[in-house]
Structure 1
């Protein structure tokens, strides 16, 4: 992959030299780097806020109430997890982060959920059906409000950044349901 990037950069430099746009090329490199840093800092702020909210929810015990609300859905999806196992809370936190479009914040929560699910795994060399379900659910997550996308659109001056909410909700719901149905189908076929 590094070779591919190097080739593309070299071709871009050669093209900029031959077309007389070396100055514009150089300016665009620095503008792109600046934008990348700004977006990274913006996303870092979102992740930090969400992780703080997560910590407050955990410390206050509210996450257990939220997990209780999600328990019927999660219990149906994850049938072999005991009702009081910490993985339920970890999965709930991950699902909530994904629902609010905070995929970057959901990553450490997802890692924690997998670790909790692995604690239930008697065979550490294999993946459990619950782990598979979680990976599919996490990857094709339903997003109610994509805060990260809305924030990025707003930071670039979009006049209506929230216009993406309904299309994102429909697309992510369809993808999550489809992914879970395909997983269920494969499980039945491979039994």
Structure 2
């Protein structure tokens, strides 16, 4: 549906631009935005490679494992049924840990694995369980200690201090996760 909306907006804008005799402005805008997109992508690529390397070092040094050990007891408290399964909990921990370290690409396979493991234990296959919904909320809140993607975009865009986003990111994602968990727990009582 959103594709249709974007198509209509874009088409309407181009038609109005051509009808008002501003076709040259539209052409220049398209070329300028295409060029700036390529430039930003190239700048972003280098920065993302740097952060992926830093995160790989954190993984190899055992930092992610230490975070996972801290997370397991907390997650055992908030998950009540399917999320306590050892396989599911392991995948949940790895998903959240990867998200915390800013490795959302690495987190996705763990998130899929966690949902598959919880679905195996789901007695009603057509409906998600409370633990599945809670995991989706945690995954969506995406608690981040190091928001590598945002830092990379800010650096590629010429920010003087791209890493100053770290504290606000920790506060906002932590607050979102806390509110999400509380909301899920309240709503679980009515389901």
Coarse TM-score class (shorter-chain normalised): 0.7 to 0.9
Aligned length: 186
CA distance in 2, matches of 1:66, 1:107: 18
Cα distance, 1:123 vs structure 2: 3.1
CA distance in 1, matches of 2:16, 2:52: 43
Instruction: Please state if 1:29 is matched with 2:33.
Output: no
Normalising by structure 1, we get a TM-score of: 0.77
The 3 A distance-change label for structure 1 pair 74 and 34 is farther
Normalising by structure 2, we get a TM-score of: 0.77
Tell me, which stretches of 5 or more residues in structure 1 are unaligned? none
Other-structure match for 2:70: 69
The answer as to whether partners of 1:46 and 1:102 remain within 8 angstroms in 2 is no
Q: Deviations over 1:69-113 (max 9, x none)?
A: 321111112232586722222111211222233434433321121
In the TM superposition, 1:37-186 aligns within 5 A as 42=44, 46=48, 49=52, 53=56, 66-81=67-82, 85-186=86-187
The more displaced of 64-73 and 178-187 is 64-73
Q: CA RMSD in A?
A: 3.4
CA distance in 1, matches of 2:37, 2:28: 14
Cα distance, 1:117 vs structure 2: 1.6
The answer as to whether partners of 2:40 and 2:157 remain within 8 angstroms in 1 is no
SS at 1:189's partner residue? coil
Instruction: Please state if 1:17 is matched with 2:18.
Output: yes
The 3 A distance-change label for structure 1 pair 37 and 130 is farther
The answer as to whether partners of 2:52 and 2:103 remain within 8 angstroms in 1 is no
Instruction: Say which structure, 1 or 2, has more relative contact order (CA 8 Å, 6+ apart).
Output: 2
The more displaced of 166-175 and 98-107 is 98-107
